Amino acid sequence: MEKLDIKRGKWKDIEGDNLPNKMKEIFGNCKQESDWYVSSYGAMEPIRIRIESKSEIFMEINTVSIPDDQVLDTMRKRNQFLEFITGFTAKERLKRLKKKAKDGS
């Protein structure tokens, strides 16, 4: 399970039905199981997202084996979705994770 920070001001884009609607738009499906939004796409089965607060989201992704030509498309969709919900690009997320690891938090 991964805890992701949400960029300040990004909450308005994911509150209400915006998060499950965006999951449907990007991955083609989304259902709600208690407080988790669940979807799947390519190698990611399932993708589970839970909103913890206005500044944090929990994400759990299990991967399955798929042909190499589909891996790149799967990673693009994952990054597109994460950029939408967090407001951070892949590079910015990596930088934040490295800083947190260095700080020990």
Residue 10 dihedral angles phi and psi, to the nearest 5°: -85, -15
3 vs 24: CA distance, rounded Å: 21
Report yes or no: 50 and 57 within 8 Å, Cβ to Cβ.
yes
This prediction has a pTM of 0.81
Separation CA 56–CA 70 (nearest Å): 29
Q: Give me the residue spans of the domains in the chain.
A: 2-103
**78 phi and psi, to 5 degrees?**
-60, -50
pLDDT tens-digit series, residues 2-35: 999 999 999 999 999 999 999 999 999 999 999 9
| Mean pLDDT, all residues of the chain | 92
Q: What pLDDT, in 10s, does the model give residues 42-74?
A: 999 999 999 999 999 999 999 888 888 888 899
The yes/no answer on whether domain 2-103 falls in CATH 3.40.630.10 is no
Instruction: Give me the sign of the Cα torsion angle 96, 97, 102, 103.
Output: positive
